[in-house]
Chains A and B, each alone.
Chain A
Amino acid sequence: MTKIKSLFMALILSLGVSSAFADGHGSTLDVVKERGFLKCGSNTGLAGFGLPNDAGVWEGIDVDVCRAVAAAVFGDASKVEYVPTTSKVRFTVLQSGEVDMLSRNTTWTLQRDVELGLEFVGVNYYDGQGFMVPASLGVSSATELDGASVCIQVGTTTEMNLADFFSANGMSYEAVPVETNSEADAAYTAGRCDVYTTDASGLYASRAGYPDPSAHVVLPEIVSKEPLGPSVRHGDSAWADIVRWSLNAMIIGEEKGITSANVDEMKNSNDPEVLRLLGVNQVGDTGAGYGQWLNLSDDWAYNILQQVGNYSESFERHIGPNTPINIQRGLNALYKDGGILYAPPFR
């Protein structure tokens, strides 16, 4: 009996261990390279950010960050396995090593960055709480909303931001309390309140689903900071650098006008930064390019821009004005175009 039992235990252990031993230990980059593909924690479905399309292919600006890292590491943007995560399990999935990085509309906060053992490597979308009103109301600024009725999710940060904004501007509002975001959407559509407020990207997504989207306007005021960005585990800075600079490469690509279409021509550019980015110029006279510092091949950024495109291409493809979601660049424009998107220099 004991013999059978110990055999049984051994079997269970070997099953459990063998299925996962491939992950092994060591630096994340080595693990990823050995595995042959990147494991990226994605959303379970958020239009424009991360979502499987009709053909089952993942799409979105968050997904493009995963693809950029895969292009940098493997030279092939398709070498990604998406692990769908809900907002409740996303941090554990990253902490336990089930995914190599997380890229799913996650707000960068002190607590998450420090206490949860995450490392946010940048911001790929500056979100914030906004207001939507029917166009027929004739309101062009949130400061004109004195006395309006607002559909609001009770007990959320959204509610607190709303109260702060109105009292700071000496205005009053009438709260129409609802439980969930979709309920707020439904209440607003049914005309139970004048104003619908949540994160601006969510407002745009809701509006796109209305029968006549142009009958509603998202007001320009943004009353909270919700910087969304990719994150990795604490403790492997080399890997964090790779993810950080993959995102930066996309932003610098836009700054320098490098697109997936002209990336080959840009290799003949006169701009030294472009040449460094595309792996043409060497570091001093070492004979090696700038990939060596990241333990990547010298054409890593070239691969990102060729296969995924620059930040602007990704934005326009998934959430820009020509998509049903129809989000203006706003804060997410480059610093030189009036936004706050800014990548450190590539040198």
Chain B
Amino acid sequence: MSSAVINNPLLRSKTGIWLKKNLFSSWLNTFITLVSIYFIWQVGSFFLSWAIFDADFLVNFRGEVILDRTYCSKNIEPGLHGACWAIIDARFYQFMYGFYPAEEVWRVNLTFLLLPLALIGIFFDKLPYRKFFIYFTFIFPFIAYYLLYGGPTLSQVGTNKWGGLLVTLFLGVTGIGLAFPLSILLALGRRSQMPIISSMCVIFIEFIRGVPLITLLFTANVMLPLFLPDGISPDNLLRALVAVTLFQSAYMAEAIRGGLQAIPRGQVEAARSMGLTYWQSTRKIILPQALRISIPPIVNTSIGLFKDTSLVLIIGLFDLLGIGRAALADMSWIKLYYEVYVFVSLVFFIFCFAMSRYSLYLEKKLKTDNSQ
């Protein structure tokens, strides 16, 4: 190697060393790096020009406001190919709230605003005044129910009017929230010494894990009303929620069981020898440690469930994806597939990515805790 290369300030800088070590360490790696950069550039520039630079947002290239697909630039000039985002704007209300009455929509907005407040208490244990946030977490479901569904002084808005992100979040958050306590009981039950309880839990978990979510949704939606007497049919959304909750609880229970099994047997024995009862030792010694270990797999199944909620469109509920498909069926917007699906995946991505970053943060935190 010539001295010019060695003395090159770029190559001696930190970035230079990192680049050389990771991307250009051999001829093969250099080749792969260059091909990858070319590929990323090609795809990225095409996507950006489609999605942003050449795209129509609210007006087309002639400056006209886009009222339907015939106004989209790409449908006027054959040479233009940019996205036509006006469909998202025209249906934005439905994407967010479904068919929720416009004059009551502040109730949904307020619930959306309160949701993070209800969650941060659980997510961050070093939060100041955490106790009050936790109290709020427990009363939040009742506030949310009152706000969204209605009650005294608020008019009732049936769940058939709910849709879009509201339904997706409702099924995701409520399903995960309800499944959590249920899954702890299932995990404890599965490890129980009592044969009836443990076999019941095993049968439940294995049955639910053995069938796809779509089957459970169909069962809840199609079979349940046939078993019930005429005219008695629980709410459609509620039935979907039950299916989603049962499904999630089985998967979460297995994640928690993994955590329980990782606790050394000495912990239980030590607790017993101090005279703690089963529930005392479980609550104070075992569960806090087990749950901590199982948080990453719990978040993992939760991300899976959040995405799976879009299956409810098959039973006629308009979640985020269902609203998108209805928009695509409309003659005014037909064939704008890419715009709708890119938008829907972006929204799903934001939520799933946030969950996965949180899981990463927890993993890091748990590592430092263990090393202390």
Question: How many interface contacts (CB-CB < 8 Å) are there between A and B?
Answer: 106
A88 contacts B314, CB within 8 Å?
Answer: yes
- Chain B residues near A110: list those with CB within 8 A: none
Query: A45-B326, A54-B91, A209-B335 known; A19 and B231 CB under 8 Å?
Result: no
**A54 contact from B78, B90, B329, Cβ within 8 A:** B90
Query: A83-B316, A96-B233 known; A53 and B335 CB under 8 Å?
Result: no
Q: Which of B22-30, B127-135, B221-229, B301-309 contacts A (4 or more CB under 8 A)?
A: B221-229
Query: A54-B90, A211-B75 known; A25 and B231 CB under 8 Å?
Result: yes
Q: Which residue of B lies closest to A49 (CB)?
A: B329
> In B168-203, which residues have CB < 8 Å from any A CB?
none
A83 contacts B160, CB within 8 Å?
Answer: yes
Inter-chain CA distance A18–B313, complex, in Å, is 26
B225 contacts A46, CB within 8 Å?
Answer: no
Inter-chain CA distance A82–B234, complex, in Å, is 17
Q: Is B282 an interface residue (CB 8 A)?
A: no
Q: Which residue of A lies closest to B227 (CB)?
A: A96
Inter-chain CA distance A324–B317, complex, in Å, is 27
Query: A83-B160, A208-B334 known; A89 and B91 CB under 8 Å?
Result: no
Inter-chain CA distance A86–B322, complex, in Å, is 11
Size band of the A side of the interface?
A: 35 or more
Q: In whole Å, how far is A15's beta carbon from the nearest beta carbon of chain B?
A: 8
- Chain B residues near A95: list those with CB within 8 A: 226
Inter-chain CA distance A82–B326, complex, in Å, is 14
Q: Is A222 an interface residue (CB 8 A)?
A: no
Inter-chain CA distance A92–B288, complex, in Å, is 46
Q: Which residue of A lies closest to B235 (CB)?
A: A19
**A97 contact from B99, B233, B317, B322, Cβ within 8 A:** B233
Q: In whole Å, how far is B218's beta carbon from the nearest beta carbon of chain A?
A: 8
Q: In whole Å, how far is B129's beta carbon from the nearest beta carbon of chain A?
A: 33
- Chain B residues near A25: list those with CB within 8 A: 230-231
- Chain B residues near A97: list those with CB within 8 A: 225, 230-231, 233
A17, A205, A209 interface centre (most CB from chain B within 10 Å): A209
B90 contacts A20, CB within 8 Å?
Answer: no
> In B63-99, which residues have CB < 8 Å from any A CB?
75, 78, 90-91, 93-94, 98-99
Q: Is B232 an interface residue (CB 8 A)?
A: yes
B316 contacts A20, CB within 8 Å?
Answer: no
Return the 4 tightest CB-CB contacts between A and B, nearest first.
Answer: A96-B225, A45-B329, A45-B326, A23-B231
* A-B pairs with beta carbons under 8 Å apart, 28 shown: A17-B232, A19-B235, A19-B238, A20-B231, A20-B234, A21-B232, A25-B231, A31-B231, A44-B316, A44-B318, A45-B325, A47-B329, A48-B331, A52-B94, A52-B326, A54-B330, A54-B332, A89-B218, A89-B316, A92-B222, A93-B316, A97-B225, A98-B236, A205-B334, A208-B331, A211-B78, A323-B331, A325-B331
B-binding residues in A (CB < 8 A): 16-17, 19-21, 23-25, 31, 44-48, 51-54, 56, 81-86, 88-89, 92-93, 95-98, 205, 208-209, 211, 323-325
Knowing that A20-B231, A46-B329, A205-B334 touch, tell me 10 more A-B residue pairs with CB under 8 angstroms.
Answer: A19-B235, A44-B325, A44-B326, A45-B328, A47-B330, A47-B331, A54-B330, A84-B316, A96-B226, A96-B228
